[in-house]
């Protein structure tokens, strides 16, 4: 009897989405239950929203430009409907280890649980923000195609709408699909449009980890060089006559904090270099120490524009680079096209602070 019973249970079990073929939950289906940790330290399940007339389950994430474009609208939707019997819960479906660094070019944060806590704190999320990146079982059960992807359930927790929030990422929307669905359910009316196409960043299923590893291997294999630069060339560099945001980092092999932050500079370069962005290092090692400086750069995979200052007048270097530089290193600048300094940091930089200076200029949406 056991083999027969097992076969029957498999036939009766719901069909969930897979990473290879994600299929959104069909209209009319019951809401799959979940038990997921929230950024507020609580664990949530469907039972926590049992009193709501309408339940909005929104799959979103930190890094996606489209998801970031919708953050204010999501906050407004929650504020407008929370006192009308509508509960909203946001879930991040992504495996953070499946996100390549070059997919983080529009953000200062990745999709880890710790980064989710920072985003929720800084943007004052007033709704639960849950993490499904560990197993992705809930995301498979709902069939999440992209972020954002919204599923709206009635009082009996039957799915009545799934798809986009509205029809525009940045421009004012002309079709308010999710709001229309909520209003219809609150009025006891059929949802006018039950399913819409989803646009945004594809779900980062765990099977994409290999792609992320392969990308790291390719970048690690890129050649590392070190070229001479004098004060006049530094002055031209600092004027930034290009159309790119420029980050300049001064360092030396004898400066422990300088060497320690080289890996973070590599990460930042890999994140943003697909955009109008350039990261440059200038070593203050003596020209006779060029080989050692190059060795340290190679050891840390610093494949970007690396220079060795060849002059012996540090005052001339300061005058050429930034008159506000007092002299010690490490020293990091963010310079907009045209030469305006947007960010200065004497001493080791805070990675999140530097990323925010970069993405604050480059922008978070397409």
* pLDDT tens-digit series, residues 77-88: 999 999 999 999
Kindly state the average pLDDT of the residues 124-150.
98
Boundary (domain end) residue, out of 179, 208, 237: 208
In 3D, which of 52, 46, 23, 24 has the Cα closest to residue 33? 46
Tokens of 266: 């590599």
265-277 residue pLDDT tens:
999 999 999 999 9
Residue 245 sits in the same domain as residue 175: no
Residue 203 sits in the same domain as residue 243: no
Contacts of 1 (CB under 8 A, 6+ apart): none
Contacts of 240 (CB under 8 A, 6+ apart): 246, 335, 336, 337, 338, 339
Residue 213, domain member (yes or no): no
pTM of the model: 0.91
More confidently predicted of 4 and 86? 86
Residue 14 sits in the same domain as residue 129: yes
CA within 13 Å, CB half, 311: 16
Residue 198, domain member (yes or no): yes
In 3D, which of 141, 117, 122 has the Cα closest to residue 34? 141
> Rounded distance, CA 314 to CA 324, Å?
13
Tokens of 123: 């943007």
DSSP for 58-100 reads: EE--SS-HHHHHTHHHHHHHHHHHGGGTEEEEEEE---GGGS-
Residue 25 sits in the same domain as residue 152: yes
Q: What CATH number did the domain enclosing 190 receive?
A: 3.40.30.10
Average pLDDT over all residues of the chain:
94
* pLDDT higher than threshold 50 for residue 356: yes
Residue 137 sits in the same domain as residue 239: no
Residue 229 sits in the same domain as residue 197: no
DSSP for 117-177 reads: HHHHHHTT--S-EEE-TTT-HHHHHHT--EESEEEEE-TT-BEEEEE-S-S-SSSPPS--H
Residue 188 sits in the same domain as residue 329: no
Q: What is the model's pLDDT at position 20? A: 57
Confidence of residue 170 (pLDDT cuts 50, 70, 90): confident
The CA distances from residue 269 to 22, 245, 281, 304, 326, in Å, are 33, 12, 11, 8, 26
47-72 residue pLDDT tens:
999 999 999 999 999 999 999 999 99
312-344 residue pLDDT tens:
899 999 999 999 999 999 999 999 999 999 999
Residue 100, domain member (yes or no): yes
Q: What is the model's pLDDT at position 3? A: 34
Contacts of 326 (CB under 8 A, 6+ apart): 346
175-208 residue pLDDT tens:
999 999 999 999 999 999 999 999 999 999 999 9
What is the number of structural domains in the chain? Answer: 2
> Rounded distance, CA 40 to CA 88, Å?
15
Residue 45 sits in the same domain as residue 124: yes
* pLDDT higher than threshold 50 for residue 15: no
> Rounded distance, CA 25 to CA 152, Å?
11
**96 is in which domain, residue-wise?**
10-208
Residue 4, domain member (yes or no): no
Confidence of residue 21 (pLDDT cuts 50, 70, 90): low
With a pLDDT cut of 70, the percent of the chain lying above it is: 94
Residue 31 sits in the same domain as residue 101: yes
């Amino acid at each position: 009897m056991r083999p027969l019973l097992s076969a029957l249970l498999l036939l009766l079990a719901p069909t969930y989405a897979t990473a290879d073929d994600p299929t959104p939950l069909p209209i009319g289906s019951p809401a799959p239950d979940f038990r997921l940790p929230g950024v507020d330290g609580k664990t949530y399940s469907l039972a926590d929203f049992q009193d709501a007339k309408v339940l909005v389950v929104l799959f979103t994430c930190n890094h996606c430009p489209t998801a970031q474009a919708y953050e204010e609208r999501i906050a407004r939707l929650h504020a407008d409907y929370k006192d009308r019997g509508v509960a909203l819960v946001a879930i991040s479906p992504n495996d953070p280890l499946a996100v390549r660094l070059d997919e983080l070019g529009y953000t200062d944060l990745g999709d880890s649980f710790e980064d989710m806590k920072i985003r929720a704190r800084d943007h004052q999320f007033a709704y639960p923000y849950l993490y499904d990146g560990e197993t992705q079982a809930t995301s498979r059960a709902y069939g999440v195609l992209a972020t954002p992807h919204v599923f709206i359930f009635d009082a009996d927790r039957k799915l009545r709408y799934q798809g986009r929030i509205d029809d525009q990422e940045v421009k004012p929307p002309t079709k308010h699909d999710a709001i229309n669905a909520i209003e219809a359910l609150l009025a006891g009316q059929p949802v006018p449009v039950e399913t819409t196409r989803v646009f945004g960043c594809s779900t980062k299923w765990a099977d994409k980890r290999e792609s992320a590893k392969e990308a790291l291997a390719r970048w690690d294999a890129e050649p590392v060089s070190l070229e001479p630069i004098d004060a006049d060339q530094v002055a031209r560099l600092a004027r930034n006559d290009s159309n790119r945001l420029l980050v300049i980092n001064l360092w030396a092999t004898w400066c422990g904090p300088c060497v320690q932050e080289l890996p973070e500079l590599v990460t930042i370069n890999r994140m943003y270099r697909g955009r109008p962005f350039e990261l440059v290092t200038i070593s203050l090692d003596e020209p006779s120490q060029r080989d050692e400086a190059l060795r340290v750069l190679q050891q840390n995979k610093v494949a970007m524009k690396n220079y060795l200052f060849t002059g012996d007048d540090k005052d001339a270097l300061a005058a050429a680079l930034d008159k506000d530089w007092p002299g010690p290193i490490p020293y990091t600048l963010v310079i907009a096209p045209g030469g305006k300094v947007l960010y200065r940091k004497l001493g080791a930089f805070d990675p999140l602070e530097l990323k925010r200076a970069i993405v604050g200029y480059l922008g978070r949406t397409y």
